[in-house]
Structure 1
Amino acid sequence: MKKVVLGIIVFFVLFLASVGIQFAINMQIKPIPMRPLESFNAGGSDRLIYYFDKHLKNEDLPEGIELTDDFINEELEGTFRYINGRYDVADFRVNSLVRLYLGFKDHLHPDTQEDIKTVLLNFKYWMDQGGEDSMCYWSENHQILFAVEEYLVGQAFPDDIFTVDGKTGLEHMEMAKNRINIWMEQRFLYGFTEWYSNNYYPEDISPMSNFIQYANDPVMVNRMKMIMDLLWFDMASQSFKYEGIDSTSEQPRTYYIFNSSMGRAYSDNRVSDDTGNRMRNYIDFVMQPEETKGFENSWFTSSNGFFNCFKQMMEALDEHDEPYYRVPDVIKEIFNDSSEEKVIKSSQSLNVEELEGEGLLGLEDHQIMMQWNMEAFSNPEVVDNTIKYMSKHNMFRNEFLNDFKMVNLWPLRAFNLLHMVSNQLNPSTNGVAIERANVYTYKTPHYSMHTAQAYQPGEYADQHAVSSINLSNTVSVFSTQPAKIPRRSGTPTYWTGNGRQPYSVQEKNVNISIYQPPTKVGFMEPMILKETTHVFFPYQLFDEVDETYLNQGYIFGRVGTSMIGIKARHTLEFVPFSVSSNPDDMDDMLKRGSVGNVLTEKYDLVQKGSGDHYFVTELSTTDDESFSAFMSRMMSQTLTYDQTTHTLSYSTILNNESTLTELIAIFDTSFSVNGHIRNLEYQRYESNYVNDGIINRKPDEIEFLFNGKSLFLDYSNHIRTVGD
């Protein structure tokens, strides 16, 4: 008996020692820096494709620019250095470098051509190709960037050797072909994981453009055109057509405001179309090129590499003197839909719980690509795959993934316990996953409102933009539950994403968002802001604001003919600008893009208080009622909240209706309209723009029909028919 007890003791001592030793070894794994230690300009390849394009069209180059061999080599020096360093977003630079080589090779010195070839053959194009680095390969946009680059480089140099693994260009082309086909099929079946992102769609459209113009596989090219169609339909259906004034020329112009609910967005993307819509030049170029050509910062003067890959593809002609791609007329008609009100519903991507049923759990390319383009790493359903894949391909030194070394312990892997650990600890990283979005969009000639209905309420969050309201090209409004003070790095932040997702629901021009602010820090969560939610409400950009009733939780504003009213559960108060702009604790709203140049007064409208928080937001127009009448009407409406059941009831007259509608939202439970519970899980498309008003999820075929124009897409049979 003593021997048995002693044996058990020895076993546990050895077990604990082995785990401790492995943990200690793991903690010595230091991440590879994702950025260079010193800053340098890596954007030369972006600028060069812009310069060469203008030069060959006999258009004026920017002052002081001459395309000499020395100048070209100087421009490429930083690009080569960044790519060779395999820093994060090096694939952005490779994307334009590939176009420079394929599109302008004959105008480059032979030595420069050889230098570009060497850089491209020395690059690493996927996670399984050996070598350690901190590039992000896995998000939706990076997947197609790396794959298209690898395919086109392999096509250009089929017999040359890629130094990363000793395989030929032809072999790499075949590997990339597999991933491109996976990516395209998953977008057709499930939609875009980074749904409606005005920040990340440019990073999809650019490699897609390169592929459409330069790939030699007609079936794949035709399918890529279908995915391009779907991306443009996303933008058309979600864009709010607004007649405004150009801020620099003071001339009238049309804005197509693409600022919807988004799978991934940063603070500047959400503030307004002016400051954050990275797709503006693309839409202007397609929809109103001549009207916008002369505006400051227009598409015509943009040296952005992503945009110029698209523009040059659109302007190029194939061997039949036909454009490589045209945005179908039906999509242009949808952009210009003049209906008084538009209700558009859609479903994008998958929930993590759906992956297994779709055969998308595992380590094969099609499985890991779906899991990781959703940024699903630590969730119980996928965490075992994450650790296995990272171990197989030696990825623990990747700075994005380095923290996973802490759970890379042999007992957890050997006995498949990682999912149990994730379930029990519920780390904040689980909220990074971008899951299925059921987006409700309501547009009128005066405003647009967008909501990912009941999106993961109460869960940790990251860069998700659950709801968005647009009143003009300069004024958008949204609320968040701030995650942490701004000086902490990484997302979510004070304005980007949420600390905890709200229960956010919408019916026509009314949004109800119920928050449950955290009271304690979660596992792996750096910090929280207790009892706090807030609204981005740029006071100075409104034509009229009434803040008389902030102590009752009301704020009202008007921009032109568009009006907004917000009711909060607790008192509202603006944070003084001096606090927001404190150099030692400046919030991220002022750090990204041009937002800091726009905001010079109060904009951070904060709600503090115990228990649940809510914001009820209603939109209206001066075409229907005066500003004072709107205020009086909203403040007189019946609104009740039950903290025990987390139930909000609000009665109002919805846009274009004449009688009261009662809206009841119960946190994480249901949303009802006049007693009828709404189904908040939509099919792929539900709108007047699709055949019979509905396209089911995971479709075999998609057909868009509007104003006598049509587009039919059959992916499996690679049939794309553009009709009048």
Structure 2
Amino acid sequence: LSRGGKFGFSISNILARKATGRITAKDRELFLETLSQIEKRFDCSDFLVCGLVRYLKNYELDDELKNRVKEVLLNYRYWMDQEGSDAMCFWSENHSLMFYVSAMNAGEFYPEEYFTRAHMTGRQLWEAGKKRVEQWLDDVEERGFEEFLSTVYMCVTFAGLLNVIDYTPKEISDRAVKVTDRLLEMLALHTYKGSVIAPMGRVYRQVIYPFLQGAQALMNLIDPDVPYSYGEGWLAFYATSRYEIPEGLKKLMRDPVLTEYNTGNAVIRLEKNEAYCITSVQSPRKDTDYDRWVNLTLLEERQNVDKTSHAYTKSLNERFHGTTCFEPGVYGYQQHMWSCALDSETQIFANHPGGTCDSSQMRPGYWYGNGVMPAVRQEKGILGAVYQIPKEHPIHFTHVYWPGVKFDQNKVEDHWLFGKKGNGYIGMWCSKKLQPYQDQVFNCEYRSYGDEIAYCVFCGDQKEYNTMEAFIENCKKRTPVYADGELIQISFNSKKLYHRLYGDSMELDESDKKCDIFIGI
């Protein structure tokens, strides 16, 4: 597995070859290289430690390798408050779990030995790791995943959970099974005609190719008929795990659904049917009983906080990876806010990029994440988004990913994009003129320049609209307008409804209240 082209990680490949009986002459050399990478504490070496633990639990080593493994594990740095300095990321949802469970497992291997950087015996290290694993599970059980639906990081978390399931006491293992079930259920729920179509807590560029995302490895495991990806090799962990995929996931992947649920600090809405799929994070969220968790790093200068707790780890993560709250106008990171799709390949979305070109290495990137998060509201068949970009931000445009070649029919006008695929339609309106732009992906991008930009997306079914022309006519009759710097106005049945961006007050007469639906941004 390439880590940026300069070096690679081999542990998943070694595990896979061992499990399938395809061991090569080079595997011992790669195993020793893995130990060296752990010893040097490469970033993401916690991935390697988790793989090493799985190897040790399933296969025998000769004396030379046993001694080398012991040397490496006794001197590893299992948490940021332990001795040493390096560039390892400890605090994200997936990394923290892997460090926690690795501390437990390493401590169990050598209970009476002294771990030099932890300044603990193995038994003490096991206890410290156990406390944090339990707190990690407490948090996800109560609040859901922070890196929700991430087609990259949910795979890593899946592998970490498998180590918890297989190599911790039963009371912890049983809890991890339920959390893993929930992880797969969420991804299955958001699988549309074979690909994961979802808003995400953390996302990368492969979002533009949903059928190639890492989580497709997990979805293909559930249903071999859906597109497959390598998924960074995490299924090598599953090959020797006792975890059983829960029943009913295929049905979740295929059945229509109209639902709303909470995970982390996000309210997710999902509508999928035979014609189309719309899904998004609601921004701002409107539920009045919402209780946001407290970031302890904002309190530590005024009061004592428990820096050994997972709550503190989670707080550090928010400081490093950007806010986990979804509110209009807040600077973003790798949050993917919304998507609409007509099949596993024909997906559209807009974002405010963090760089000016597709080759940007920024986070947020060109196609993934948002420099500034939008207001988003989704109702049945409709999604609206408003982007308000501060003058001090260097990027003053948003852009749409619109793979026109994927549609059966595709029509472009100044403010409108229309597409048909199968028996579904998408119409997108933008308050600014949409200008085609070519970068690394040709004929798939439309930019809209300015500091205040609004989008409305309308989806439809061929059962309701016999022709593309009929669907286009219906969309245009709704005459969307972005007004007064804070309003989206849409006409329904010749009536117009308004909803202020930052307020709940709305004056409607009785005739207005008879309208089918309104969108609040």
The bucket for the TM-score relative to the shorter chain is 0.7 to 0.9
Structure 1 position 529, deviation (Å) = 1.7
SS at match of 2:120: coil
Find 1:309's aligned residue among 228, 234, 237.
Answer: 237
Q: Is the 8 A contact 2:297 2:316 kept in 1?
A: no
Find 1:540's aligned residue among 405, 410, 417.
Answer: 405
Query: 1:567/1:179 Cα in 2 relative to 1: closer, same or farther (>3 Å)?
Result: same
Residue 649 of structure 1 pairs with residue 489 of structure 2: yes
CA-to-aligned-CA distance 1:565-604 (integer Å, 9 cap, x gap): 11111111111x3xx14xxxxxxxxxxxxxxxxx4x2212
Distance 2:148 2:104 in 1: 25
SS at match of 2:148: coil
Who is 1:618 aligned against? 458
Residue 52 of structure 1 pairs with residue 13 of structure 2: no
Query: 1:88/1:572 Cα in 2 relative to 1: closer, same or farther (>3 Å)?
Result: same
Residue 136 of structure 1 pairs with residue 8 of structure 2: no
Query: 1:304/1:263 Cα in 2 relative to 1: closer, same or farther (>3 Å)?
Result: closer
Who is 1:529 aligned against? 395
SS at match of 2:385: strand
Find 1:265's aligned residue among 169, 191, 203.
Answer: 203
1:241-320 equivalent positions in 2, closer than 5 A: 242=193, 255=194, 257-268=195-206, 270-276=207-213, 278-286=214-222, 288-289=223-224, 291=225, 302=230, 304-313=232-241
Query: 1:79/1:127 Cα in 2 relative to 1: closer, same or farther (>3 Å)?
Result: same
1:286-365 equivalent positions in 2, closer than 5 A: 286=222, 288-289=223-224, 291=225, 302=230, 304-313=232-241, 324-337=242-255, 339=256, 342-350=257-265, 354-356=292-294, 362-364=305-307, 365=309
Who is 1:554 aligned against? 416
SS at match of 2:457: strand
1:419-498 equivalent positions in 2, closer than 5 A: 432-435=322-325, 455-486=326-357, 489-498=361-370
Identity level (%): 24
Who is 1:169 aligned against? 122
Structure 1 position 358, deviation (Å) = 10
CA-to-aligned-CA distance 1:267-302 (integer Å, 9 cap, x gap): 21x2132132x111212212x24x57xx8x56xxx5
Aligned residues: 482
Distance 1:36 1:234 in 2: 28
Structure 1 position 194, deviation (Å) = 1.1
CA-to-aligned-CA distance 1:518-543 (integer Å, 9 cap, x gap): 2224xxxxxx122x111011222222
Query: 1:38/1:283 Cα in 2 relative to 1: closer, same or farther (>3 Å)?
Result: closer
Distance 1:356 1:267 in 2: 31
Find 2:385's aligned residue among 505, 510, 513.
Answer: 513
Query: 1:267/1:168 Cα in 2 relative to 1: closer, same or farther (>3 Å)?
Result: same
Who is 2:276 aligned against? none
Q: Is the 8 A contact 2:208 2:367 kept in 1?
A: no
Structure 1 position 467, deviation (Å) = 0.8
Q: Is the 8 A contact 2:154 2:215 kept in 1?
A: yes
Who is 2:56 aligned against? 101
SS at match of 2:327: coil
Paired amino acid for 1:354: R
TM-score for both structures, normalised by structure 2: 0.85
Deviates more, 1:615-624 or 1:168-177: 615-624
1:54-73 equivalent positions in 2, closer than 5 A: 54-55=20-21, 61=22, 66-68=23-25, 71-73=26-28
Structure 1 position 53, deviation (Å) = 0.5
Q: Is the 8 A contact 1:36 1:87 kept in 2?
A: no
In terms of fraction of residues, the more helix-rich structure is: 1
Distance 1:158 1:660 in 2: 74
| Structure 1 portions without partners, runs of 5+ | 1-34, 56-60, 243-254, 314-323, 378-428, 436-454, 522-527, 582-598, 653-658, 681-724
Query: 1:661/1:132 Cα in 2 relative to 1: closer, same or farther (>3 Å)?
Result: farther
Paired amino acid for 2:181: D
Who is 1:39 aligned against? 6
Who is 2:283 aligned against? none
Paired amino acid for 1:139: S
CA-to-aligned-CA distance 1:45-73 (integer Å, 9 cap, x gap): 11110001101xxxxx4xxxx434xx222
Query: 1:312/1:640 Cα in 2 relative to 1: closer, same or farther (>3 Å)?
Result: same
Query: 1:638/1:199 Cα in 2 relative to 1: closer, same or farther (>3 Å)?
Result: same
Q: Is the 8 A contact 2:155 2:231 kept in 1?
A: no
TM-score for both structures, normalised by structure 1: 0.62
Paired amino acid for 1:502: P
Find 2:313's aligned residue among 356, 369, 378.
Answer: 369
Residue 567 of structure 1 pairs with residue 485 of structure 2: no
Q: Is the 8 A contact 2:82 2:118 kept in 1?
A: yes
Q: Is the 8 A contact 2:377 2:519 kept in 1?
A: no
SS at match of 1:182: helix
Structure 1 position 157, deviation (Å) = 1.9
Distance 2:297 2:335 in 1: 26
Cα RMSD of the aligned pairs, angstroms, is 3.0
Structure 1 position 101, deviation (Å) = 1.5
Structure 1 position 369, deviation (Å) = 2.3
Structure 1 position 372, deviation (Å) = 2.6
Who is 1:604 aligned against? 445
Determine which structure has greater relative contact order: mean sequence separation of CA pairs < 8 Å that are 6+ residues apart, divided by chain length. 1
In terms of Rg, which structure is larger? Answer: 1
